[in-house]
Homo-oligomer: A and B are copies of this chain.
Amino acid sequence: MPVRRLVLTVTCPDRVGIVAGVTGFIADHGGWVLEAAQHGDLGTGRFFLRIEILAESLPFDHAGFGDRFTPLADELELDWRLGDTDVPKRVVVLASREDHCLADLLYRWRSGDLPCAIPLVVSNHPDLAPLVEASGIPFAHVPVTAETRDDAFGEICRRFEEVGGDVMVLARFMQIVPPAVCDRYPGRIINIHHSFLPSFIGARPYHQAHARGVKLIGATCHYATADLDAGPIIEQDTVRISHAEGPEQLVALGRDIERVVLARGLRWHLEDRVLLNGNRTVVFP
Protein backbone atom coordinates (compact mmCIF):
# COMPACT_ATOMS: atom_id res chain seq x y z
CA MET A 1 0.00 0.00 0.00
CA PRO A 2 1.63 3.27 -1.09
CA VAL A 3 2.06 5.94 1.56
CA ARG A 4 -0.41 8.81 1.71
CA ARG A 5 0.79 11.91 -0.05
CA LEU A 6 -0.40 15.46 -0.42
CA VAL A 7 0.27 16.71 -3.92
CA LEU A 8 0.65 20.46 -4.30
CA THR A 9 0.45 21.87 -7.82
CA VAL A 10 1.07 25.51 -8.57
CA THR A 11 0.87 27.72 -11.65
CA CYS A 12 1.92 31.35 -11.41
CA PRO A 13 3.70 34.21 -13.11
CA ASP A 14 7.41 33.49 -13.07
CA ARG A 15 9.60 35.42 -10.60
CA VAL A 16 12.44 34.88 -8.20
CA GLY A 17 11.76 32.89 -5.08
CA ILE A 18 8.75 30.77 -5.90
CA VAL A 19 10.35 27.39 -5.21
CA ALA A 20 12.12 28.76 -2.19
CA GLY A 21 8.93 30.29 -0.84
CA VAL A 22 6.82 27.20 -1.32
CA THR A 23 9.37 24.65 -0.18
CA GLY A 24 10.37 26.90 2.69
CA PHE A 25 6.76 26.86 3.86
CA ILE A 26 6.72 23.08 3.64
CA ALA A 27 10.04 22.67 5.44
CA ASP A 28 9.04 25.09 8.17
CA HIS A 29 6.23 22.71 9.00
CA GLY A 30 8.41 19.61 8.82
CA GLY A 31 7.06 18.45 5.46
CA TRP A 32 8.98 15.62 3.81
CA VAL A 33 9.29 16.11 0.05
CA LEU A 34 9.12 12.83 -1.89
CA GLU A 35 9.16 14.03 -5.48
CA ALA A 36 9.14 17.49 -6.98
CA ALA A 37 9.47 19.12 -10.36
CA GLN A 38 9.38 22.65 -11.63
CA HIS A 39 9.26 24.24 -15.06
CA GLY A 40 9.50 27.82 -16.21
CA ASP A 41 8.20 28.68 -19.67
CA LEU A 42 10.28 31.58 -20.95
CA GLY A 43 7.80 32.02 -23.80
CA THR A 44 4.67 32.53 -21.73
CA GLY A 45 6.36 33.75 -18.55
CA ARG A 46 4.52 31.18 -16.48
CA PHE A 47 5.99 28.92 -13.81
CA PHE A 48 4.75 25.43 -12.90
CA LEU A 49 5.45 23.40 -9.80
CA ARG A 50 4.44 20.03 -8.43
CA ILE A 51 5.46 18.66 -5.05
CA GLU A 52 4.55 15.37 -3.40
CA ILE A 53 4.70 15.60 0.39
CA LEU A 54 4.53 12.70 2.82
CA ALA A 55 1.17 13.40 4.47
CA GLU A 56 2.13 12.19 7.92
CA SER A 57 5.12 14.50 8.03
CA LEU A 58 2.87 17.56 8.24
CA PRO A 59 1.25 18.67 11.51
CA PHE A 60 -2.02 19.57 9.82
CA ASP A 61 -4.44 18.02 7.38
CA HIS A 62 -5.65 19.05 3.95
CA ALA A 63 -7.81 21.90 5.24
CA GLY A 64 -5.18 23.04 7.68
CA PHE A 65 -2.67 23.27 4.87
CA GLY A 66 -4.93 25.65 2.99
CA ASP A 67 -5.45 27.93 5.96
CA ARG A 68 -1.76 28.38 6.50
CA PHE A 69 -0.68 28.39 2.85
CA THR A 70 -3.13 31.01 1.59
CA PRO A 71 -1.23 34.13 2.70
CA LEU A 72 1.93 33.00 0.91
CA ALA A 73 -0.05 31.90 -2.13
CA ASP A 74 -1.71 35.30 -2.37
CA GLU A 75 1.59 37.09 -2.01
CA LEU A 76 3.18 35.06 -4.80
CA GLU A 77 0.00 35.12 -6.95
CA LEU A 78 -0.13 31.34 -6.98
CA ASP A 79 -2.94 29.47 -8.67
CA TRP A 80 -2.74 26.30 -6.60
CA ARG A 81 -4.51 23.13 -5.64
CA LEU A 82 -3.77 20.39 -3.15
CA GLY A 83 -4.48 16.78 -4.02
CA ASP A 84 -4.63 14.01 -1.45
CA THR A 85 -3.91 10.41 -2.43
CA ASP A 86 -6.41 9.30 0.20
CA VAL A 87 -9.17 11.26 -1.52
CA PRO A 88 -9.26 9.89 -5.05
CA LYS A 89 -10.85 12.04 -7.73
CA ARG A 90 -14.38 11.20 -8.82
CA VAL A 91 -14.58 10.29 -12.50
CA VAL A 92 -17.79 10.30 -14.50
CA VAL A 93 -17.37 8.36 -17.74
CA LEU A 94 -19.39 9.15 -20.86
CA ALA A 95 -19.62 6.45 -23.51
CA SER A 96 -21.75 5.58 -26.52
CA ARG A 97 -21.86 2.08 -27.98
CA GLU A 98 -18.23 1.14 -28.39
CA ASP A 99 -16.99 -0.38 -25.18
CA HIS A 100 -13.25 -0.85 -25.54
CA CYS A 101 -12.21 2.31 -23.69
CA LEU A 102 -14.93 1.99 -21.07
CA ALA A 103 -14.20 -1.69 -20.41
CA ASP A 104 -10.53 -0.87 -20.05
CA LEU A 105 -11.17 1.96 -17.57
CA LEU A 106 -13.48 -0.25 -15.53
CA TYR A 107 -10.90 -3.02 -15.47
CA ARG A 108 -8.15 -0.66 -14.36
CA TRP A 109 -10.36 0.89 -11.73
CA ARG A 110 -11.36 -2.53 -10.35
CA SER A 111 -7.77 -3.73 -10.24
CA GLY A 112 -6.60 -0.63 -8.42
CA ASP A 113 -4.52 0.57 -11.33
CA LEU A 114 -6.42 3.87 -11.64
CA PRO A 115 -6.55 5.90 -8.40
CA CYS A 116 -10.11 7.18 -8.69
CA ALA A 117 -13.74 6.60 -7.84
CA ILE A 118 -16.27 6.09 -10.65
CA PRO A 119 -19.64 7.09 -9.23
CA LEU A 120 -21.46 7.12 -12.56
CA VAL A 121 -21.31 6.14 -16.21
CA VAL A 122 -23.54 8.01 -18.67
CA SER A 123 -24.37 6.88 -22.18
CA ASN A 124 -26.62 8.06 -24.97
CA HIS A 125 -27.37 4.40 -25.69
CA PRO A 126 -28.56 1.68 -23.31
CA ASP A 127 -26.22 -0.99 -24.72
CA LEU A 128 -23.44 -0.73 -22.16
CA ALA A 129 -25.64 -0.83 -19.06
CA PRO A 130 -24.92 -4.52 -18.30
CA LEU A 131 -21.16 -4.02 -18.53
CA VAL A 132 -21.31 -1.05 -16.17
CA GLU A 133 -23.78 -2.49 -13.70
CA ALA A 134 -21.79 -5.73 -13.49
CA SER A 135 -19.07 -3.56 -11.96
CA GLY A 136 -21.51 -2.18 -9.40
CA ILE A 137 -21.50 1.28 -10.91
CA PRO A 138 -24.71 3.23 -11.59
CA PHE A 139 -25.50 3.68 -15.28
CA ALA A 140 -27.55 6.56 -16.64
CA HIS A 141 -29.05 6.43 -20.09
CA VAL A 142 -29.39 9.97 -21.43
CA PRO A 143 -30.41 9.95 -25.11
CA VAL A 144 -28.97 12.75 -27.22
CA THR A 145 -30.54 13.93 -30.47
CA ALA A 146 -29.96 17.03 -32.53
CA GLU A 147 -33.07 18.57 -31.00
CA THR A 148 -32.55 17.51 -27.39
CA ARG A 149 -28.85 18.10 -27.33
CA ASP A 150 -28.71 21.07 -24.98
CA ASP A 151 -31.25 19.54 -22.62
CA ALA A 152 -29.40 16.24 -22.66
CA PHE A 153 -26.13 17.87 -21.75
CA GLY A 154 -27.92 19.87 -19.10
CA GLU A 155 -29.04 16.58 -17.64
CA ILE A 156 -25.53 15.13 -17.88
CA CYS A 157 -24.07 18.13 -16.08
CA ARG A 158 -26.75 17.94 -13.41
CA ARG A 159 -25.89 14.31 -12.73
CA PHE A 160 -22.16 15.06 -12.83
CA GLU A 161 -22.64 17.66 -10.11
CA GLU A 162 -25.00 15.43 -8.18
CA VAL A 163 -22.39 12.71 -7.77
CA GLY A 164 -19.67 15.23 -6.99
CA GLY A 165 -17.75 14.59 -10.21
CA ASP A 166 -14.23 15.97 -10.48
CA VAL A 167 -13.54 14.99 -14.05
CA MET A 168 -15.60 13.86 -17.03
CA VAL A 169 -14.03 11.30 -19.35
CA LEU A 170 -15.29 10.99 -22.91
CA ALA A 171 -14.49 7.32 -23.53
CA ARG A 172 -15.30 7.26 -27.24
CA PHE A 173 -18.45 9.30 -26.55
CA MET A 174 -19.53 10.00 -30.10
CA GLN A 175 -21.29 13.28 -29.35
CA ILE A 176 -19.96 16.80 -29.65
CA VAL A 177 -19.90 18.44 -26.24
CA PRO A 178 -21.51 21.91 -26.41
CA PRO A 179 -19.00 24.76 -26.07
CA ALA A 180 -20.83 26.03 -23.00
CA VAL A 181 -20.19 22.73 -21.21
CA CYS A 182 -16.52 22.77 -22.18
CA ASP A 183 -16.19 26.31 -20.90
CA ARG A 184 -17.88 25.38 -17.66
CA TYR A 185 -15.32 22.69 -16.81
CA PRO A 186 -11.96 23.84 -18.14
CA GLY A 187 -9.29 21.20 -17.69
CA ARG A 188 -11.89 18.81 -16.29
CA ILE A 189 -13.21 17.08 -19.43
CA ILE A 190 -10.84 14.53 -20.94
CA ASN A 191 -11.37 13.15 -24.43
CA ILE A 192 -9.66 10.35 -26.33
CA HIS A 193 -9.40 11.15 -30.02
CA HIS A 194 -8.74 8.27 -32.39
CA SER A 195 -6.01 9.93 -34.39
CA PHE A 196 -2.63 11.49 -33.87
CA LEU A 197 -3.91 15.08 -33.68
CA PRO A 198 -3.81 17.45 -35.45
CA SER A 199 -3.97 14.87 -38.24
CA PHE A 200 -7.33 13.57 -39.31
CA ILE A 201 -9.69 15.74 -37.32
CA GLY A 202 -13.33 15.09 -38.03
CA ALA A 203 -15.08 11.87 -38.85
CA ARG A 204 -13.63 8.41 -39.50
CA PRO A 205 -9.95 9.19 -38.86
CA TYR A 206 -8.82 5.60 -39.49
CA HIS A 207 -10.37 5.70 -42.93
CA GLN A 208 -8.68 9.02 -43.55
CA ALA A 209 -5.40 7.51 -42.37
CA HIS A 210 -5.78 4.55 -44.68
CA ALA A 211 -6.61 6.78 -47.64
CA ARG A 212 -3.56 8.93 -46.95
CA GLY A 213 -1.32 5.87 -46.61
CA VAL A 214 0.38 6.79 -43.34
CA LYS A 215 2.76 4.24 -41.80
CA LEU A 216 1.82 4.89 -38.17
CA ILE A 217 -1.57 5.51 -36.63
CA GLY A 218 -2.08 7.14 -33.27
CA ALA A 219 -4.38 8.38 -30.57
CA THR A 220 -4.56 11.59 -28.59
CA CYS A 221 -5.80 12.24 -25.06
CA HIS A 222 -6.71 15.90 -24.61
CA TYR A 223 -8.85 18.27 -22.62
CA ALA A 224 -12.07 19.13 -24.40
CA THR A 225 -12.51 22.78 -25.29
CA ALA A 226 -15.10 24.75 -27.22
CA ASP A 227 -12.78 24.50 -30.21
CA LEU A 228 -13.34 20.90 -31.28
CA ASP A 229 -10.29 18.57 -31.45
CA ALA A 230 -8.07 21.54 -30.59
CA GLY A 231 -7.84 21.36 -26.80
CA PRO A 232 -4.62 20.97 -24.78
CA ILE A 233 -2.98 17.62 -25.45
CA ILE A 234 -2.12 15.43 -22.44
CA GLU A 235 -0.72 12.35 -24.13
CA GLN A 236 -0.26 10.78 -27.57
CA ASP A 237 1.19 7.61 -28.93
CA THR A 238 1.47 5.77 -32.22
CA VAL A 239 1.60 2.23 -33.53
CA ARG A 240 3.12 0.97 -36.77
CA ILE A 241 0.86 -0.34 -39.52
CA SER A 242 1.55 -1.81 -42.93
CA HIS A 243 0.08 -1.79 -46.42
CA ALA A 244 -1.61 -5.10 -45.64
CA GLU A 245 -4.01 -3.51 -43.16
CA GLY A 246 -7.30 -2.17 -44.44
CA PRO A 247 -9.39 0.48 -42.66
CA GLU A 248 -11.20 -2.10 -40.50
CA GLN A 249 -7.92 -3.49 -39.27
CA LEU A 250 -6.71 0.01 -38.48
CA VAL A 251 -9.83 0.47 -36.39
CA ALA A 252 -9.01 -2.75 -34.53
CA LEU A 253 -5.35 -1.88 -34.03
CA GLY A 254 -6.34 1.62 -33.00
CA ARG A 255 -8.43 0.33 -30.14
CA ASP A 256 -5.28 -0.81 -28.36
CA ILE A 257 -3.55 2.49 -28.66
CA GLU A 258 -6.68 4.45 -27.72
CA ARG A 259 -7.08 2.45 -24.53
CA VAL A 260 -3.48 2.87 -23.47
CA VAL A 261 -3.26 6.56 -24.29
CA LEU A 262 -6.52 7.36 -22.50
CA ALA A 263 -5.53 5.36 -19.42
CA ARG A 264 -2.12 6.99 -19.29
CA GLY A 265 -3.46 10.52 -19.75
CA LEU A 266 -6.21 9.98 -17.22
CA ARG A 267 -3.81 8.54 -14.63
CA TRP A 268 -1.54 11.55 -14.99
CA HIS A 269 -4.53 13.81 -14.50
CA LEU A 270 -5.64 11.85 -11.44
CA GLU A 271 -2.16 12.11 -9.99
CA ASP A 272 -2.12 15.88 -10.52
CA ARG A 273 0.72 15.66 -13.02
CA VAL A 274 -0.93 17.76 -15.72
CA LEU A 275 -0.95 21.56 -15.57
CA LEU A 276 -2.46 23.84 -18.20
CA ASN A 277 -0.16 26.26 -20.00
CA GLY A 278 -2.50 28.10 -22.33
CA ASN A 279 -3.46 25.61 -24.99
CA ARG A 280 -0.56 23.31 -24.09
CA THR A 281 0.10 21.18 -21.05
CA VAL A 282 2.97 20.66 -18.67
CA VAL A 283 3.12 16.98 -17.71
CA PHE A 284 5.43 16.23 -14.80
CA PRO A 285 6.70 12.63 -14.96
17 contacts between A and B (CB under 8 A): A16-B27, A16-B32, A19-B33, A21-B27, A24-B24, A35-B39, A35-B40, A37-B37, A39-B243, A196-B196, A197-B212, A214-B236, A215-B233, A216-B237, A243-B280, A244-B285, A256-B260
Closest to A239 in B: B260
- Quick one: which of B30, B41, B42, B214 contacts A16, CB cutoff 8 A? B30
| Contact between B31 and A40, CB atoms less than 8 A apart | no
Q: How many copies of this protein are present in the complex? A: 4
A198–B205 alpha-carbon span in the complex (Å): 12
| Contact between B37 and A38, CB atoms less than 8 A apart | yes
A279–B252 alpha-carbon span in the complex (Å): 23
**Taking beta carbons and an 8 Å cutoff, which residues of A are in contact with B?**
2, 14, 16-21, 23-24, 26-28, 30-43, 57, 99-100, 103, 107, 111, 113, 134, 196-200, 212-216, 218, 232-238, 242-244, 246, 248, 252, 255-256, 260, 263, 277, 279-283, 285
A102–B63 alpha-carbon span in the complex (Å): 43
| Contact between B243 and A281, CB atoms less than 8 A apart | yes
- Quick one: which of B103, B198, B216, B283 contacts A212, CB cutoff 8 A? B198
CB proximity of A283 to chain B, nearest CB, Å: 6
CB proximity of A253 to chain B, nearest CB, Å: 10
Residues of B within 8 A of A34 (CB): 40, 42
Residues of B within 8 A of A255 (CB): 113
Residues of B within 8 A of A111 (CB): 99-100
Known interface pairs A23-B19, A24-B20, A285-B285; A279-B31 also in contact (CB < 8 Å) = no
- 10 nearest interchain CB pairs? A213-B280, A20-B27, A17-B27, A20-B23, A36-B38, A19-B23, A243-B282, A215-B236, A20-B24, A199-B199
